[in-house]
Structure 1
Amino acid sequence: MIQGLYEAHLPVKNLEVSMMFYSKLGLKLAWHDEDTAFYWIEEGRSWLGLWQGQEHATPYHPSLRHIAFRVDYEQLKGALAWLASIQVEAVPFGSRTSIEPFVRPHQGNASVYFDDPDGNSLELICHVVVPEELRHINDKLSFDEWEELARSYSK
């Protein structure tokens, strides 16, 4: 039934600053007015709404202010270089200290995280094919660790 993201919304302090940031990420402006802007994530399919002046009524929690953008595996491998090229810093996820993209075998995905100018949590994520025998691994693995494990498993 669910086929993808239709829309997500984030509160922003300064709409102009946020519009420049999301344009820099490569999202195309769908429309805006004096206090809102909508950017296409997938044109005609899903978009992100930015709302200026919305006070953060609750303490920050990533489930309230988080968006994950789907990318492919090779794009994720190059994500740190791409983020650096547009002057965006990656951030560690959770208790991790590394900003490097990582694989979650038990979930079958890989991610890298960064924040927007308002501290909203953003993620680039891709699907990773994980053999059933490796889905028990709950650790977050670097791409090097994952690829070495995957190579040794496929032999």
Structure 2
Amino acid sequence: MYEAHLPVRNLQRTVEFYLKLDLEIAYQSEKVVFFWIDKGKSWLVLWETEKVRTPYHPSLRHVAFRIDRPNMNDIKNWLEERGIAIKSAFGFSDEEQPLVLNNNPQAHAAIYFEDPDGNSLECISPLRLNFEEAFEQMSLKTWEQIKEKGLN
């Protein structure tokens, strides 16, 4: 995917938030800013618009950033150091995240937070692909403990 778009109330305030995520501005005008996600490959576009009043739904106002698996254990602290609060998701509190999503035959580790306009953001990392294995959603910590016990 090359680009995704989100509505915002106050462009400058929200630009400051996304800069905390270490995103680079590719283009900015009075009502729109383009941030590189992967320079030359994908970007996130923020529009200052009244459409920000559209009630949240993941099909409309949700973006997930793929991060490398080794970074998933540190992402919570990295976000909190920047003053970004983790939000509850799928019945898991902020303390229980990152969590493991059961999307058989895939499994992903994920952590959820919001931008200043209530757009849902996620950092996600694949744990396994195309492997059927029944399990309940759980914290990444629990997932790792189970996998470690299975290897011993």
The alpha carbon displacement at 1:153 in A equals 2.3
Letter aligned with residue 140 of structure 1: Q
| CA–CA separation in structure 2 for the residues paired with 1:91 and 1:69 | 16
Total equivalences in the alignment: 149
Q: Provide TM-score, normalisation by structure 1.
A: 0.88
Do residues 142 (structure 1) and 139 (structure 2) align? yes
| Counterpart pick for 1:104 among 83, 88, 101 | 101
Secondary structure of the residue that 1:47 maps to in structure 2? strand
- Once the two structures are superposed, what CA deviation does each residue of 1:107-145 show, in whole Å capped at 9, x if it has no partner? 321100000000000000001027936x211x2221221
Q: Provide TM-score, normalisation by structure 2.
A: 0.89
| Counterpart pick for 1:84 among 75, 80, 85 | 80
The alpha carbon displacement at 1:74 in A equals 1.9
Letter aligned with residue 134 of structure 2: H
Q: What corresponds to 1:30 in structure 2? A: 26
Structure 1 vs Structure 2: percent identity of aligned residues? 40
RMSD (Å), alpha carbons: 1.8
Gaps of 5+ in 2: none
Gaps of 5+ in 1: none
| CA–CA separation in structure 1 for the residues paired with 2:54 and 2:101 | 29
